[in-house]
Amino acid sequence: MRRRNALVTGAWVGVLLPVLLLAGCANAPEIPLLPKAPATPAVTQTVYVPVYVEVEKPAAVVPAPEPIKLPEDQEQSLALLIEMARSANASPDDLRKDFLASQTAFNKDKSSVNRMRYAWISGLLGPAAGDDARLQGLLEPLVAKGGFAATHPLRPVADVMLSQLNERTRQLKEEQKKADALQQKLDALKAIEKNLLDRERRRN
């Protein structure tokens, strides 16, 4: 009997204990809450943040370079030098046509440029255009007073042409002197031979 009572009592304790605990919690005094800290007012501040925006710019238009304008004497010289280079490789027929054209231009206007062109083509054409004395007469005014200035682009060309012509004239004179000297020796030998033949005939 006592054991049964103990079992019943233990069962009731197991049931009543949670109930008592709940009841005790319900009747427990309220614990006061801690006071809340006052809220700090928010401070606003304006901050400027740089914003980079990519903008596509049109490509810069580069102006075309203006053509180089040469002084008149340089333009004439350049054109004549190109013409001289072309005529140096021209065929005989084209060279004769160029000679006639340069002669006509020189007769109309005896400028230094026309004179230079006429002298150049005359030199290329050779004896068919005349002797060296006539060619020398065309070139000498170009380097004399009133012709090409010392700084003119064509002055060195005229100097070289006249120098070559003078050298050729000098060589021709030297060759002529040698030929004349040789001819004199031949004439002297012929005269000696003739005298010997005349003496032989007189003896006979």
Q: Which two tokens stand for residue 45?
A: 């501040």
Would the pLDDT of 23 be above 50?
Answer: no
User: CB within 8 A of 35, min separation 6: which ones?
Assistant: none
Residue 151 lies in a domain: yes
Banded model confidence at residue 8, pLDDT cuts 50, 70, 90: very low
What pLDDT sits at residue 103? 93
Structurally, how many domains does the chain consist of? 1
Written as one letter, the residue type at 150 is A
Range of the domain at 119: 73-172
Give dist(CA 122, CA 95) in Å, integer.
9
| Residue 46: half-sphere exposure toward Cβ, Cα within 13 Å | 0
Three-state secondary structure call for residue 152 = coil
Written as one letter, the residue type at 108 is K
In degrees rounded to 5, what are phi and psi of residue 32?
A: -65, 140
Would the pLDDT of 28 be above 80?
Answer: no
Between residues 104 and 21, which one has the greater pLDDT? 104
CB atoms within 10 A of CB 51: 5
Residue 204 lies in a domain: no
- Residue whose entry in the numeric block shows the structure tokens 């084209």: 94
Residue 29 lies in a domain: no
Residue 41 lies in a domain: no
pLDDT in tens, 29-81: 454 555 555 666 666 667 666 666 676 767 667 776 666 665 677 788 888 88
What pLDDT sits at residue 106? 93
What pLDDT sits at residue 67? 63
Residue 127 lies in a domain: yes
- 0.75 surpassed by pTM: no
Would the pLDDT of 22 be above 70?
Answer: no
Residues making up the chain, counted from first to last: 204
pLDDT in tens, 86-144: 988 889 899 999 999 999 999 999 988 899 999 999 988 887 777 888 888 999 999 98
Residue 50 lies in a domain: no
Residue 86 lies in a domain: yes
Residue 9 lies in a domain: no
What pLDDT sits at residue 108? 95
Least confident of 127-136, 149-158, 187-196: 127-136
